[in-house]
Amino acid sequence: MCGIVGHVSTSPVNQQIYDSLLLLQHRGQDSTGIATIEGNTLYRVKAKGQVREAYRTRDMRSLLGEVGLGHVRYATSGSAKNEDEVQPFYVNAPYGIVLVHNGNLTNTRELSDELFNIDRRHLNSDSDTELLLNVLANELQNSISEEDLTPDQVFDAVSHLHQRVEGSYASIALIAGHGLLAFRDPFGIRPLVLGHRLDDNGRDEWVVASESLVVDAGGYELVRELAPGEMVFITTAGELHTREYDGPTRLAPCSFEYVYLARPDSVMNGISVYDTRLRMGEKLARKVEREIPLDEIDVVMPIPDSARPSAMQLAQTLGLPYREGFYKNRYIGRTFIMPGQKVRKKSVRQKLNALPREFERKRVLLVDDSIVRGTTSQEIVEMARQAGAAKVYFASAAPAVRYPHVYGINMPTRGELVASARTVEEICSVIGADALVYQDVDDLFAAITEGTEMTELDMSCFTGEYVTGTVTPEYLAWLERTRSS
């Protein structure tokens, strides 16, 4: 899951994009890029690392114009180390297009073949985003008529793209001399919101972003979430055009956004991420109550940061004391989205430190939002014991992650998942806990959708059922052979 943002403004846009990217940093730490357009000229700066260290003043000054986009990357295709895959990607025809993408395409092999053998396009990286951009460029080239580019021609091109591309994609592109295009895949797997504000002279300004907190922080009004398959085109003059996709669509957003990826102060598909995490805590509390006698738990503790709302609510529901026993070094990023198991393992110890006073002779229930590779839970259980805990129980606000995630979260192989092919007892012994409680799949579904009209979620990493239906055992085996993280 990467973070993407696009701004159509009435004043220079470089600083606004930078500020928005800082707010989306939790969605990707591998690399970042910004592009702007002024007239027919495209400007672009890309760098590895996080937003704060990536851009210099002279880079920012070189980004001219009042329309632009930005990206923070968490690689799911190709490699985090490859500089050629840092987004935004660029093609020079038609017009000059740059594009950013959050998501992961699942028919990359077919697309590569078609683009090379039929469309005669040269691709120079292993990034699925380069494929997405080239499909867009090709379809745009085909839909342009004699007169200059119209929103309808742009929308026709995206409709054709929807027919060719499979997997997940929320995407923003700049078309030089024309405007900003945004679109969401027909299953709405990855998020994308639209915001609006008026400048001091009453002129329209727009923002499109992965999360609503960017809209709030920039002083915009949230217009709405883009519908599955929907396309938005905003001209450089700030005129908004939208079109629904007339092919088949279904809203099945990624449940992992609510569990871990998104910031709790964002609202996704009309659902507050914070509220869902509270409800996860409530439902998990009921399960804990059924599995561990409550008089055997002295204290409930969160694994900072993401588990805090769930742990707090769990403690309150059970009437147990809530304590913070682990302290976090705020200068270390999120460990799960770091590339490579060695660096992830080392970072957990650097990131979290146990406060012995909270552990000595206590029977503690540790709560995390999820257990994926088990990197965090193994280290944490050991740290709790070293700090003097008498018993260490562990509860996960998400169900067991047993299957690869192929829609934009980097867990492509079963082998790396601690819960794959293991029973709960076996996982408990791997992480070294005295008891382990997982949220039930139905309870997670209810925690996210309760009180809403949402009927479907992508929960594939918990259930093995992939919403796009194109993820075959052969594809998963190929993914395992070609990608390990």
Ligand X SMILES: O=P(O)(O)OC[C@H]1O[C@H](OP(=O)(O)OP(=O)(O)O)[C@H](O)[C@@H]1O
Ligand Y SMILES: NC(=O)CC[C@H](N)C(=O)O
3-state class (DSSP) for residue 172? strand
Query: How many C-beta atoms surround the C-beta of residue 237 within 10 A?
Result: 12
Minimum CB distance to ligand X smaller for 88 or for 408: 408
User: Considering only residues 311, 371, 381, 383, which one is a binding residue for ligand X as defined by CB under 6 A?
Assistant: 371
Interaction residues for ligand X, span 325-364 (CB under 6 A): 334-337
Minimum CB distance to ligand Y smaller for 89 or for 445: 89
User: Considering only residues 29, 107, 376, 460, which one is a binding residue for ligand X as defined by CB under 6 A?
Assistant: 376
User: Considering only residues 375, 410, 449, 460, which one is a binding residue for ligand X as defined by CB under 6 A?
Assistant: 375
- Check: CB of residue 5 under 8 Å from CB of residue 21: yes
**Smallest gap, in angstroms, from Cβ of residue 438 to ligand Y?**
25
**Smallest gap, in angstroms, from Cβ of residue 223 to ligand X?**
28
Instruction: Locate all alpha helices (DSSP H) within 82-224, ordered by sequence.
Output: 108-117, 128-143, 151-164, 212-217
**Smallest gap, in angstroms, from Cβ of residue 317 to ligand X?**
20
Minimum CB distance to ligand Y smaller for 46 or for 101: 101
When asked if residue 368 is in the footprint of ligand X (CB under 6 A), the reply is yes
Q: Which residues are annotated as a binding site?
A: 306, 368-369
User: Considering only residues 131, 297, 303, 383, which one is a binding residue for ligand X as defined by CB under 6 A?
Assistant: 303
Interaction residues for ligand X, span 253-292 (CB under 6 A): 260
Half-sphere exposure of 239 (CA within 13 A, CB side): 6
3-state class (DSSP) for residue 338? coil
In the complex, which residues of this chain contact ligand Y (CB under 6 A)? 1-2, 73-78, 85, 101-104, 127-129, 408
When asked if residue 245 is in the footprint of ligand X (CB under 6 A), the reply is no
- DSSP E strand stretches across 216-348: 221-225, 231-235, 240-243, 267-268, 271-272, 299-302, 326-328
Minimum CB distance to ligand Y smaller for 103 or for 218: 103
Q: Which residues are annotated as a binding site for Mg(2+)?
A: 306, 368-369
DSSP line for 427-452: HHHHHT-SEEEE--HHHHHHHHHTTS
Instruction: Locate all alpha helices (DSSP H) within 323-374, ordered by sequence.
Output: 341-351
User: Considering only residues 19, 305, 440, 456, which one is a binding residue for ligand X as defined by CB under 6 A?
Assistant: 305
CA nearest neighbour of 325 among 383, 390, 267: 383
CA nearest neighbour of 43 among 13, 19, 16, 23: 13
Minimum CB distance to ligand Y smaller for 76 or for 276: 76
CB within 8 A of 424, min separation 6: which ones? 400, 436, 438
When asked if residue 396 is in the footprint of Mg ion (CB under 5 A), the reply is no
Query: How many C-beta atoms surround the C-beta of residue 465 within 10 A?
Result: 11
| Pairing state between β 204-209 and 3-8 | antiparallel
260 binds, among Mg ion, ligand Y, ligand X, none (CB under 5 to 8 A by kind): ligand X
When asked if residue 55 is in the footprint of ligand X (CB under 6 A), the reply is no
Minimum CB distance to Mg ion smaller for 40 or for 341: 341
When asked if residue 138 is in the footprint of Mg ion (CB under 5 A), the reply is no
Q: Is 461 a catalytic residue?
A: no
Of 2, 254, 428, 461, the catalytic one is: 2
User: How many whole angstroms separate alpha carbon 135 and alpha carbon 141?
Assistant: 10
Residue 375 tokens read as: 């990197």
Instruction: Locate all alpha helices (DSSP H) within 292-438, ordered by sequence.
Output: 308-318, 341-351, 375-386, 424-431
User: Considering only residues 76, 306, 449, 468, which one is a binding residue for Mg ion as defined by CB under 5 A?
Assistant: 306
**Smallest gap, in angstroms, from Cβ of residue 410 to ligand Y?**
7
User: How many whole angstroms separate alpha carbon 436 and alpha carbon 284?
Assistant: 12
Residue corresponding to tokens 């992508």: 458
**Smallest gap, in angstroms, from Cβ of residue 371 to ligand X?**
5
Query: How many C-beta atoms surround the C-beta of residue 103 within 10 A?
Result: 27
DSSP line for 58-110: HHHHH--SSEEEEEEE--SSS-TT-GGGPSPEEE-SSS-EEEEEEEEES-HHH
**Smallest gap, in angstroms, from Cβ of residue 153 to ligand X?**
42
Only segment of 279-287, 318-326, 365-373, 464-472 that touches ligand X (CB under 6 A): 365-373
When asked if residue 479 is in the footprint of ligand X (CB under 6 A), the reply is no
374 binds, among Mg ion, ligand X, ligand Y, none (CB under 5 to 8 A by kind): ligand X
When asked if residue 347 is in the footprint of Mg ion (CB under 5 A), the reply is no
Minimum CB distance to ligand Y smaller for 279 or for 334: 334
Site for ligand X, rule CB under 6 A: 260, 303-306, 334-337, 368-377
Site for Mg ion, rule CB under 5 A: 306
Q: Which residues are known catalytic residues?
A: 2
